[in-house]
Amino acid sequence: MDAHEGIADAAIRLVQELKHNPNIIPPYDATLMRQCIDTLNRLYDQNARSLMDPTGDPSISPEQITTQREQRTAAIIYIWRCTTAYIHERACRIRSLRWRFGGILPISIRNNLSEAEIEFFNSYSSALADFQSSLGESGVNLMANTEPPKHLFVQVRVKEDYGEFETNDGNVVILNKNSLHSLPRQDCEMLIRRGILEIANP
């Protein structure tokens, strides 16, 4: 197994990146993913050649050839599982971002996603929007009131300048940094999740 020592290092590092950053979605590591794909292709090709030419190196016994092939197969499965876990976990976190931020991601988060992940986020957002609009006559906002409200209105403080904000009843308020407002809870839930507003009197 010495010949394959460290062969799965890139795959292990992918998993560790997510394990060490449980509450965020770190930048997509295209370099490590490419290393894993290249390793998988190389191991697969070596196994294919071993099967097509079972005699191979005459200095190596058939038992050794079989053992090497089994070791490569085990490495292929291990690397595949690590990369699949990496992709799946990032997809789960991307879905949770849709519920937290709505259909528009902050630039700092969007820059951490690959093009395929951005496409996945947009597709998930569209599917969620279509599902919500299909419920009832006027649709249902599943992102509103994710927790049972204690009051219909809530006192909020603005954490950063936002500008005009129109509530569902047509009222327009100016959200300037550090200003206080009493707003319908269902109208400001999204801004609270995005960190623009905070509850002043929780």
Q: Compute the distance between CA of residue 107 and CA of residue 129 in angstroms, rounded to an integer.
A: 21
User: Where is pLDDT greater, at 148 or 167?
Assistant: 167
Residue 144 in this model has a pLDDT that exceeds 80:
no
Between 9-19 and 62-101, two packed helices, what is the crossing angle to 10 degrees? Answer: 20
User: Where is pLDDT greater, at 45 or 144?
Assistant: 45
Q: Mean pLDDT for the chain? A: 85
| pLDDT tens per residue, range 40-93 | 999 999 888 888 876 666 677 778 888 888 999 999 999 999 999 999 999 999
66: its two tokens? 């079989």
Domain segments of the chain as ranges: 2-101, 153-199
**Which pLDDT value is given to residue 147?**
58
**Which pLDDT value is given to residue 4?**
44
At 158, give phi and psi (nearest 5°): -85, 125
At residue 94 the predicted structure's pLDDT band, cuts being 50, 70 and 90, is very high
User: Where is pLDDT greater, at 166 or 60?
Assistant: 166
User: What's the CATH fold of domain 2-101?
Assistant: Methane Monooxygenase Hydroxylase; Chain G, domain 1 (1.20.58)
Residue 28 in this model has a pLDDT that exceeds 90:
yes
170 — alpha (psi -120 to 50), left (phi > 0) or beta? left
**Which pLDDT value is given to residue 56?**
62
Give 39's contacts (C-beta < 8 A, 6+ positions apart). 7, 8, 10, 11, 75, 79
